[in-house]
Amino acid sequence: MPVETGLEAGTAAKSDKGSSSSVAPILEARGLAMRFDAPEGRISLFESLDLSIDAGDSLAILGTSGSGKSTLLGLLAGLDLPSAGTVVLDRHDLTKLDEDERAVLRSGRVGFVFQAFHLLPGLTALENVMLPAELVVDRHARQRARDALARVGLADRLAHYPAQLSGGEQQRVALARAFITQPGILFADEPTGNLDHRTGAQIIDLLFELNRDHGTTLVLVTHDQAVAERCHHVRYLRDGRLFEAAA
Amino acid sequence: MLALRLLYRDWRGGELRLLALAVVVAVAAVTGVAWLADRVAAGTEARAADLLAADRAVEYPQPIPDEWQQRAQAAGLNTALTATFPTVVLAGDQNRLVSAKAVDDGYPLRGELRIQPDIGAAENRAEGIPEPGTAWLESRLLGLLGLGVGDTLEIGAMTLEVAAVLSFEPDRGQGFGSLAPRLMFNHADLEATELLGPGSRVRHKLLLAGELATAIRFTDALAAEHGNAVEIESPGEQGRGAAEVIDQAKRFLGLAALLTVIVAGVAVLLTVRHYAERQITGVAVMRAMGATRRQVMGLFIGKLLWLGLFAGAAGAALGYALHVAMLALIAELLGTELPPAGWQPLLTGWLTAGAALLGFALPTLSRLRDAPPMRVLRQDLGSHLLRAGAPLLVAAAVIFGLMALQAGDLLVTLSVFGAVVSTLAVLTAVAAGVVYGARAWSRRSGQARLLWLTGFTRRPLTAVIQIVAVGVGLMSLFLLAVVRNDLLSAWQAEIPPDAPNQFLINIQSDEVDGVRQMLTDAGIETRFYPMVRARMTELNGAPVSAEDYDSPQARRLARREFNLSWTGTLQSDNDIVAGDWWGDADSPPPQLSVETEFAEEIGVDLGDRLTFGAGGRSVTAEVTSLREVRWESFNVNFFVLASPGTLDQLPRTWLTSFHLPVVDSHVLNDVIRSYPSVTPIDVTSVLRIVRTIIDQGSSVVELMALLTLAAGVLVLLAALQITGEERRFESALLRALGARGSRIRAMARLEFWLVGAIAGGLAGLAATGAGVVIAEVLFNLDYPFRPVTLVIGALVGLVTVWLAGALGARRYYRASPMRLLREG
Ligand SMILES: Nc1ncnc2c1ncn2[C@@H]1O[C@H](COP(=O)(O)OP(=O)(O)O)[C@@H](O)[C@H]1O
Ligand SMILES: [Mg+2]
C-alpha cells in the first residue's frame, strides 16, 4: 500500500537503514512545482514536492518513464529553475541565483553521471576527465585525472577518444570525470540505462565504491529496484508525488 | 590553451576544415590585392623623384633661350637641356618611328642612365651622354632596324653612329608618346638634323636641380615673366597620372576581393552554424559541470582567435603567391624592378581573418553560451538555440563596414552594396522560384516516379543557397572572361573595316602637294587637314588659367596646346546640335564651332569669344555652333573648328589619314625619305597595345574571379556538409530498401547537375545582362544580348558543381547500410 510521505525525506531517514548523522541537510527542496507550456495548454508535472538529504547519504529516485525523474534531478542540481518552491544546495538557495551563479556553485562541488555518458567527442579520455578540474583552475588536473582513470581501471586508455571506447568504458570515464573534483554531491541519471546488465552492475559497484571512498552524497535516478536497494533512502515518483514505497 | 587544444581536436575531427578554408580564401584575396597594390604603388613612388630626372623642369614650345640657362646657373642650380620629338629614322631600307631625345651634358640631373656596350652585354651605369655624332638606341629599336653597335642611321639630315644600347632612362614616362622606341643623341647635334622647323612637335625642356627653394624661386620668376607659355613640372605631377590609375585599380580590385570575402563569409556562416549545432550538447555538459557563460564565450573566442591566426597566416601565404602571379601577368606593363614586399598586408590578412571570424562566426557561436544545462538530461532542449536572424544582421553590417573601408566613399559603398544586395536578391528569387517550382511540380506528378527529384526538392533551402553562392562565383568569372571578350569585339566591330589606320602628321604647308602626289601615285586618295597648335589664352576677354578648373582633364586642356583646324564643309560624322554652321560661303566672318563634350568640359557656350595664341600671335573669334562628333569613325576630327581664314595668322602644319590594307612600308618609306620631318603614326599597333593593356589587366581580375568561384565552391561544400547527415540517412534507408549504390549515386549526381546547371545558367544570364548594361551605359556600344552565355554557363556550372559535389559528398554514399544505421 502506498504511503504518502507527509514528512520530509530527511526526517523519514531516521527509520531508514544505516543513516549517517549529519547536522544540516546538504540538499533540501521545499514545495517544488514544475509546469510546462505545451501546445495543449499548461501541463503540471508536479505541484509540491519536498525532499531533503544529509551529507554522505544516498538517495534513489524511482519511477516509470515520463514520470518526471530527470526533471526533478535537474531542479535539485540547479540545472533549471522550478516553477515554484525552493532548492537549497550546500546552504545556497538556488532559486535566488542566476544561471551563472548556479554554475559557479556547481563547479567543483557537484558531479554528474548521465545515461548518455556525454563525453566530449573531441577530447581524449584523459582530457575529458581533466575538464571539470580545469574549470576550477586546478594545477594538478592532469595528475589527478590520471589517478582517477586508474581508479576506474582505465589507466591504459588515457589517449583514447570516446568513439574508441565501449559503452561501459565510456561510463567509467564519466565516473572518473564526476569524481575528479571530489564533489560534495553527485547526481546520476539512469547511469546504466544505456548498458547491458552485467556492465551496468559493474558501473554501479564502482559508483558505490567511489561514493564510499569520497564520502560523497549521492542522488541517483534509476528504474532498477536492485540498484535502489543499495541506497540509504528510496523515493518513488508517481503522479506528481513522492512515495516511500513502491505501488 | 584549452581553446587551442580543443581547436586542434576539432580540426582533426574535420569539423573546422571548411571554415578555415573559407577564411584562407578570403584572406588570400585581400592580401593578394594589398600586396599587389602596395608594391606597384611603392614602385611608382620610388621612381617619382627620378621620373623627371630633375627637381624641377621647365617646358617651352620653343628652344630654351640661353639666357635662362645662364640665370639658373648663376643662381647655383645645375641645368640640362632635353628636346623630345617623334620622328622616323632610316637605316638601309628599314625605317622606324622613334621617339628621339636630344640631351646635353649633365643629363640626367636625378636618377641614372644605364647602357650596355653591346646587345646582350652586361648593363652598367652610363658615365655621361652620347658623344656628338653618336646615338644610343633601345635594343628593341636595334632589332627592328637590323642594326648593331657601330652601324649608322639617318635622323633627319644627320647621320649618327650607334655607340651603345640604351637600357634604362629615368624620365621615360608613360603614355602613347613612350610607345615608340627611344633614340638618344647629343643636344649639340639637334640643329643639324633640320627637324626643328615651324610646327614640329619638339618638346624643349630645361631641367633644374639643386636647392629646392632656389629652383622654385627660379621657376616662379620664369612663370611670372612668360605666363602660360612656360610649363613648370615638379616630380609629383609626373607620377600623378599613374598614381591615379593605380588608386582606381586598387579600389576596383579591392572591391573584387571583397566579393570573395562576402561569398567566403557565407561559407563561414553555413559551416559555423553546422559546427555550433554539434557543440550544443558539449557546452551543456560543461555548463552542468559549472562552466560560466563567460568561460564558454572565452573558450570559443579563444578558438576563433587561434583559428584566425593560423588561417590568416595560411591565407596571407596564398595571397603572397597570388600577388606574385598577378605581377607576372602584368610584368610587361610595369617594366621596372619593384621594391621588396612589405609586411603590412600580413596585418591586413589577420585583420580580415579576424573580421570574417568575429563578424560571421562569433555571432552564431556566442549563442552557445545560452545552451541550457538541462540538455544533459533532455536532448531536445536548446535545439532552437541557433534559430535567430541576428547573426545575419551582424554579417550584413560587417560586409557594409568592410566595403566602406575598401571603397573609402559612402556613396560608392552604398551603390556597390546596393548592387550586390539586389543581384543577390534577384539570384535568390529566381533560384527559389525554380527550386520551389520543381518541388511543387514533382509533388503533383507523384513522388514515386520522380523519386530522383527528392534530394533536390526535399532540401529546397540549401539548394537555393548553393545555387546563389556558386552562381555569384560563376557570374563574376563569366562577366570577366566572356563578356569582356564580347565587349572588345563589339568595340572593334564599330570600327569600319576601311577606317584609316595610318596618319601622317607634321606635314609643312609647302610639302602638302608633294606628299599628296606620292600618295595618289600609290592609289591613295585622301584629304589633307590643316592643323594649328595653339593655347587657349582668353575666354570672353579674360585670361584663362588652369587653376580656374576643377577637373584634372580640364586643367590639362587649359594648360596644353591643342589642335585647331578650319574647314568650309562639315564632315558626315559631325552633327550641329546648337547654333548654325557657317556654310560654304566664300569668306564667312571669323567664327568657331566647338565639340559639345569639350565645350562642357572647359565651360564654353554659344556666343562666347575665345582667344587662341601660338608663336606670339593670337586670334579671337565667337563660338557660333556646337557639334557632336562620332569619334568611332576614326576619321580625323577636331575639338575646335574655325571658319576658313580665321586662323590665317597662326602657324600651321597639315595632316592626313588613310586606310592601308596591308602595311605597305614602301609608300610610307618613300614619303618619309623625301620629307623627313613628316611623322607617320600606325594606329594598328596602337590598337594592339591597347588590347594588350586590357588583356593583361583583366587577366589579373580573372584570377580574382577564380578566387570568388573557389569561395562559391566552399559554400557548396558547406551546404553539402550540413545535409551530410541527412544524405547519409537517406542513402542508408534507400539501400536498406534495396536500392543499389549506383542508383543512389545517380540520384545525387542528378541533384548536383541541377544545382550546377541552374546556378551556371543564372550566372550566364546575369553576366550577359550586366554586359549589356555596361556596354550601353559606360561605353555607348551596341552589345547583343547573348542567350548562348546561358547555355555555356549552365554547362560550366554543371561540371563545377558535379566535380565539387562528387568529391564532397562521396563519403556520405559509401558506407554500408548497417554501419550507417548504427551511426544513426
Ligand atoms: N522543457 C519541457 N517542456 C515540455 N515538457 C517537458 C519538458 N521537460 C520535461 N517535459 C515533460 O515532462 C515529462 C517528464 O519528463 P522526464 O523528467 O524526462 O521524465 P523521466 O526522466 O521520468 O522519464 C515528460 O512527459 C516530458 O515530456
Ligand atoms: Mg529521464
- Residue A219's φ and ψ, nearest 5 degrees, are -120, 120
Residue B355, pLDDT > 70, answer yes
Sheet strands side by side (includes A58-62): A110-113, A185-189, A217-221, A58-62, A233-238, A241-243
The pLDDT, as a whole number, for residue A157 is 92
Instruction: Provide the grid cell at B181.
Output: 622606341
Q: Do B289 and A132 touch (CB under 8 A)?
A: yes
What gap in Å lies between CA B141 and CA B149, rounded to an integer? 12
Lowest mean pLDDT among B319-323, B439-443, B751-755: B439-443
Classify residue B519: in a domain, yes or no: no
Do B435 and B388 lie in a common domain? no
Residue indicated by cell numbers 535566488: A96
Q: Is the pLDDT of residue B499 over 50?
A: yes
- CB within 8 Å of B754: residues ≥ 6 apart: B438, B456, B463
In terms of CA atoms, which chain B residue is nearest residue A107? B290
Are B401 and B423 within one domain? Answer: no
Ligand 1 contact, A114 CB (< 6 A)? no
Decide if pLDDT at B545 tops 80.
no
Interchain pair A107, B289: CB under 8 A: yes
What are phi and psi for residue B364, nearest 5 degrees?
Answer: -70, -45
For range B522-531, the mean pLDDT: 87
Instruction: Write down the pLDDT at residue A95.
Output: 92
**Pick from A81-95, A206-220, B464-478: least confident:** B464-478
Q: For ligand 1, say whether the CB of A236 is within 6 Å of any of its atoms.
A: no
Lowest mean pLDDT among A61-70, B310-319, B771-780: B771-780
User: Residue B26: what pLDDT?
Assistant: 92
Confidence of residue B557 (pLDDT cuts 50, 70, 90): low
Q: Would B512 be classed as within a structural domain?
A: no
- Choosing from B207, B233, B259, the residue where a domain stops is B233
Asked whether B238 and B52 are in contact (CB, 8 A), the reply is yes
**CA A231 to CA A58: how far, in whole Å?**
5
Count of domains in chain B? 4
- Span B403-410, mean pLDDT? 74
Task: Using alpha carbons, list the distances in angstroms from residue B704 to B255, B436, B477, B699.
Answer: 10, 33, 9, 9
What is the pLDDT, as a whole number, of residue B311? Answer: 94
Q: Minimal Cα distance from A117: which residue of B? A: B376
Task: State whether A131 and B286 contact (CB < 8 Å).
Answer: yes
pLDDT-derived band at B404 (thresholds 50, 70, 90) equals confident
Q: Tell me which chain B residues have a C-beta less than 8 angstroms from the C-beta of A219.
A: none
Are the C-beta atoms of residues B257 and B85 closer than 8 Å to each other?
no
pLDDT value for B549? 74
B745 pLDDT more than 70:
yes
Give CA B552 to chain center in angstroms.
20
Q: Indicate the pLDDT class of residue B46, thresholds 50, 70 and 90.
A: low
Does pLDDT of B372 surpass 80? yes
A224-228 contacts: CB < 8 A, separation 24 or more?
A224/A192, A224/A200, A225/A62, A227/A60, A227/A192, A228/A60, A228/A62
Q: Are residues B605 and B751 in the same domain?
A: no
Worst-scoring range by mean pLDDT, B142-156, B313-327, B378-392? Answer: B378-392
B780 contacts: CB under 8 Å, gap ≥ 6: none
Q: Which residue has the higher pLDDT, B486 or B819?
A: B486
Residue nearest to atom 26 of ligand 1 (CA): A66
d(CA A27, CA A111): 14
User: Percentage of chain A surpassing pLDDT 90?
Assistant: 52
Please work out whether the CB of residue A70 comes within 6 Å of at least one atom of ligand 1: yes
Cis-peptide, bond into residue B108, ω within 30° of zero: yes
What's the pLDDT score for residue B236?
59
SS3 B404: helix
pLDDT tens, residue by residue, B142-183:
877 888 899 999 998 899 999 999 887 877 754 334 457 889
**Mean pLDDT across B318-330:** 89
CA-nearest of B296, B276, B318 to B28 is B318
Q: Which amino acid belongs to residue B498?
A: D
Q: Which residue has the higher pLDDT, A230 or B768?
A: A230
Q: Does the pLDDT value for residue A150 go beyond 90?
A: yes
**Å between A104 CA and nearest CA of chain B:** 5
Q: What angle do CA B434, B439, B440 make, to 5 degrees?
A: 100
Q: Are residues B64 and B213 in the same domain?
A: yes
- Out of A71, A75, A237, A238, mutate this one to test ligand 1's pocket (max ligand atoms within 8 Å of CB): namely A71
Lowest mean pLDDT among A194-198, B73-77, B459-463, B673-677: B673-677
The whole domain housing B106 covers: 56-233
Q: What is the pLDDT of residue B559?
A: 67
Pair (B41, B78) in one structural domain: no
Average pLDDT over residues B211-235: 83
> Residue B518 domain-assigned?
no
Q: Which of B345, B375, B408 is the endpoint of a domain?
A: B408
Which pLDDT belongs to residue A83? 94
Query: Would B608 be classed as within a structural domain?
Result: yes
pLDDT score of B824: 34
Rounded CA-CA distance B755/B462 in Å is 10
Q: For residues B507-528, give the mean pLDDT.
A: 88
Q: If you average pLDDT over each of A63-77, B371-385, B487-501, which comes out highest?
A: A63-77
Query: Average pLDDT of B3-21?
Result: 82
- The ipTM, to two decimals, is 0.82
Strand partners, B533: B563
**Which of A65, A70, A83 best tests ligand 1's pocket when mutated (most atoms within 8 Å of CB)?**
A70
B199 located within any domain: yes
Check pLDDT > 60 for residue B732.
yes
User: Residue A25 pairs with which residues in a beta bridge?
Assistant: A54
The rounded distance, in Å, linking the Cα atoms of A132 and B286 is: 8
Task: Report the residue among B374, B376, B378, B383 best suited for mutation to probe ligand 1: largest number of ligand atoms under 8 A from its CB.
Answer: B378
Of B561, B564, B563, which Cα lies nearest the Cα of B591? B564
Mean pLDDT of chain B: 81
Q: CA B809 to CA B722: how far, in whole Å?
A: 11
Model confidence at A22: pLDDT above 50: no
- Residue B320: all three cell numbers together: 603572397
Position B747 pLDDT exceeds 90: no
Nearest CA to A152 out of A165, A139, A135 is that of A165
The percentage of residues in chain B with a pLDDT greater than 70, rounded to a whole number, is: 82
User: How many CB atoms lie under 10 A from the CB of residue B649?
Assistant: 14
C-alpha cell recorded at residue B646: 580665321
Res. A236 pLDDT band, cuts 50 70 90? very high
Of B384, B408, B432, which residue sits at a domain end? B408
> Does A132 contact chain B (CB < 8 Å)?
yes
pLDDT bin (cut points 50, 70, 90) of residue B484 is low
Assign B414 a pLDDT band (cuts: 50, 70, 90).
confident
Give domain status of residue B801, yes or no.
Answer: yes
Same domain flag for B250 and B395: yes
Burial letters A26-46, b for 16+ CB under 10 A, else e = bbbbeebbbeeeeeeeeeebb
Report if residue B229 sits inside a domain: yes
Alpha helices in B162-201 (DSSP H): none
In the prediction, which pLDDT does B154 show?
Answer: 92
Contacts of A195 (CB under 8 A, 6+ apart): A167, A168, A171, A203
Please spell the DSSP secondary structure of B448-514, one letter per residue.
Answer: TTTGGGHHHHHSHHHHHHHHHHHHHHHHHHHIIIIIHHHHHHHHHHHS-TT---EEEEEE-GGGHHH
Residue B708 vs residue B695, higher pLDDT: B708
At residue B822 the predicted structure's pLDDT band, cuts being 50, 70 and 90, is very low
Report which bound ligand comes closest to the CA of A194.
Answer: 2
| Distance of alpha carbon B396 from the chain centroid | 28
Which residue would you say has higher pLDDT here, B287 or B701? B287
Give me B37's grid cell. 597594390
| Ligand 1 atom, smallest distance to A73 CA | 17
Three-state SS at B544:
coil
Cβ <8 Å between A123 and B9: yes
Q: What angle do helix axes B741-774 and B410-444 make, rounded to 10 degrees?
A: 140
Q: Classify each residue of B155-173 as buried b or exposed e, where b means 16 or more C-beta atoms within 10 Å of its C-beta.
A: bbebebebbbbbbbbbbbb
| Angle between helix B235-288 and B410-444 (nearest 10) | 50
Query: Tell me: the pLDDT tens digits for B187-218?
Result: 999 988 888 876 677 889 999 988 878 888 99
Cα(B657) to ligand 2 centroid in Å equals 95
Ligand 1 centroid – CA A71 distance (Å):
6
> Who contacts B360 (Cβ-Cβ below 8 Å, separation ≥6)?
B265, B268, B269, B272, B391, B395, B398
Higher pLDDT, B530 or B685: B530
The answer to which of A14-28, A188-202, B254-268 has the lowest mean pLDDT is: A14-28
Query: Residue B520: inside a domain, yes or no?
Result: no
Based on the fold, state whether residues B88 and B229 are members of the same structural domain. yes
Q: How many residues does chain A have?
A: 247
Whether residues B552 and B403 fall in one domain: no
Contact across the interface for A104 and B378, Cβ inside 8 Å: no
B704 compared with A82, residue with greater pLDDT? A82
CB contact under 8 A, B281 and A112: no
pLDDT value of residue B337: 64
| Alpha helix ranges (H) inside B191-292 | 212-226, 235-288
Query: Does position B315 have pLDDT exceeding 70, yes or no?
Result: yes
Kindly state the average pLDDT of the residues B36-62.
75
pLDDT confidence band for B242 (50 / 70 / 90): low
Q: Cβ-count burial of B412 within 10 angstroms (0-12 exposed, 13-18 middle, 19+ buried)? A: middle
In A133-162, the residues whose Cβ lies within 8 Å of chain B are 134-136
Count of other CB atoms within 10 angstroms of residue B600 = 13
> How much is the average pLDDT of B713-718?
82
Q: How much is the average pLDDT of B737-765?
A: 82
Q: What mean pLDDT comes out for the span A30-37? A: 93
Contact B436, B460 (CB under 8 A): yes
Q: Which of A118, A123, A136 sits opposite B376 (nearest CB)?
A: A118
Instruction: Write down the pLDDT at residue A20.
Output: 45
A134 and A143 Cβ atoms separated by less than 8 Å: no
Contacts of B290 in chain A (CB under 8 A): 103-110, 132, 135-136
Q: What is the mean pLDDT of residues A145-152?
A: 93
Asked whether B173 and B240 are in contact (CB, 8 A), the reply is no
pLDDT, averaged across chain A: 86
Q: Which is nearest to A96 in space by CA: A108, A83, A87?
A: A87
The dihedral of CA B539, B542, B545, B551: what is its sign?
Answer: negative
Cα–Cα dist B469/B490, whole Å = 30
**Cell numbers placing A88:** 537549497
pLDDT in tens, A75-94: 999 999 999 999 999 999 99
Q: Cell numbers of B106, please?
A: 649633365
Residues on chain A touching B289 (C-beta within 8 angstroms): 106-107, 110, 112, 131-132, 135
pLDDT greater at residue A137 or residue B175 = A137
At position B427, the amino acid (one-letter code) is L
Angstrom distances, CA of residue A40 to CA of A34, A36, A44, A45, B85 = 16, 10, 12, 14, 94
Together in a domain, B285 and B384: yes
What whole-number distance in Å separates Cα of residue A40 and Cα of residue A43?
A: 8
The yes-or-no verdict on residue A46 having pLDDT over 90 is yes
Q: Are residues B257 and B392 in the same domain?
A: yes
| pLDDT value of residue B820 | 45
- Top-confidence residue, B50 or B818: B50
On whether both B404 and B446 belong to a single domain, the answer is no
Q: Which residues of A touch B382 (CB under 8 A)?
A: none
Predicted confidence (pLDDT) at residue A174 exceeds the cutoff of 50: yes
If asked whether residues B347 and B394 sit together in one domain, one would say: yes
On the question of pLDDT at B533 being above 50, the answer is: yes
Collapsing DSSP states into helix, strand and coil, what is residue A2?
coil
Query: What 3-state class would DSSP assign to B622?
Result: strand
Q: List the residue whose alpha carbon is closest to atom 21 of ligand 1.
A: A70
